[in-house]
Structure 1
């Protein structure tokens, strides 16, 4: 795809600020730049702390989705998981109630400032709410070292875990914890070691994961993510980066195009937002979301338009990232 003109992209961009229903990843308010291209709407929403070099890949994904036809879908609905932030155990039923019909829950663990006892209490509450047939996966966001991960896995294995996502930060650590947990039959999934790595295939070559977690925005778009999954030769879970419904549709397009989709996907996170840009928003119904493009509602775009200083901040960031893409 030829890079569209920067001024045209800026003219087609709307910046929004959305409140969160529950604090997640330290975020209380989610900001995003939404871009309307010839093929439809796309989202550019790297987290605020990401530098321009990393954020530019997210912009490449948005421009590809907005200006190019996407790979043909192989399915029209995507099964999704519930996402349980690092909340107190007594809040778990309320969180799960937002995810209609979801048979799988991803539970955040290893939260800074919390203890393993907090994690055990939260996961126990999820198991109680979902019953014995529910699937539970954990996401540590690289928050443990190898010994901590092994100790935590043994403490949490009683809840019948589907897998643990990014228990440790580095590829070497993932390979070691995978070796230690092999007899426990707890698979290891890699997220940050794929989407934040210079070489997203290093984790597969090192035998450091059983499953890849892939996201359309951080990996540069649907086509690039499909290439990574194919080259890795591992099953994949498609997840989101706390996107609006527009961004979740990009993830759904990726999930729809995967040749095999063994696992429920982390694309139900619009349920964690207190407001969204689409009406209706792309939240789970009967445990799934449709694989279709989403256009924001004009009234919601206006209602949640970012303040002038934040709008200017995002437009300056987009301009810098566009310049980086032009130089690649």
Structure 2
């Protein structure tokens, strides 16, 4: 298997094309962006669109595990932006007349082409817990139904964020563009032609996580505990096990809070290393903590779970 690392800059028209089929793996944390983040992104995009009629806008980078000749792209870093941009494009499409809606929908779902062996499918598939919800309400433009949902009936925070962010972006579109469809079309052209993302692609997870661990220090989507989670969950052989233990991991994280969860891993490392840390928590944890590689489910059941419960009793 090739270990080649490649990085190229693409407009959103190419990012959301048949060249990429994005899949959020089970080890990833859920969609977590809230209204503040998506509002900031939208305002930055719109302000740039208004002030710069010819210049390009840079949306950052994403890290993917992707074979050179294949489209399937496992998202290591970039889930939050890809999901938010999909919501934005879907909101815009829902405001267009049928012909223009179809023109935009190709960036949300692959329509299929038998002559290119392309089958109809979503361009972005979320984790198993949320993919059907996201497809039904966002990628199939059922926003009226989405906005009527009672948040108390939703399964998790990711679905609540999808609902709230969709409502917020819908309000932004209506507030700024109203019935001015021409201006909305111009803004959409700006999004798909002049907004760029660098896609860093590698062919295996270890290389992707090494790249991510460097990028992580600059404040991107994941934390070191998310990388540890990726290390452990990917060793489980069945998707059902991956989904079960991903859910269990996330429930423990929610119970004690994201920052405290990171602190918990420092405590676990100290118990096994019995010495002061000399490297970052990721390297130290990989070096000192047993069971995580040989028996990942035993690590979660017999180490992480009871230590999280003890941490909750003592610190929370």
Q: Determine if the TM-score, normalized by the shorter chain, exceeds 0.5.
A: no
Answer with 1 or 2: which has the greater Rg: 2
Per the shorter chain, which TM-score range?
under 0.3
Structure with more helix by fraction: 2
Structure 2 length-normalised TM: 0.25
Greater relative contact order structure (CA < 8 Å, 6+ sep): 2
Structure 1 length-normalised TM: 0.24
Structure with more strand by fraction: 1
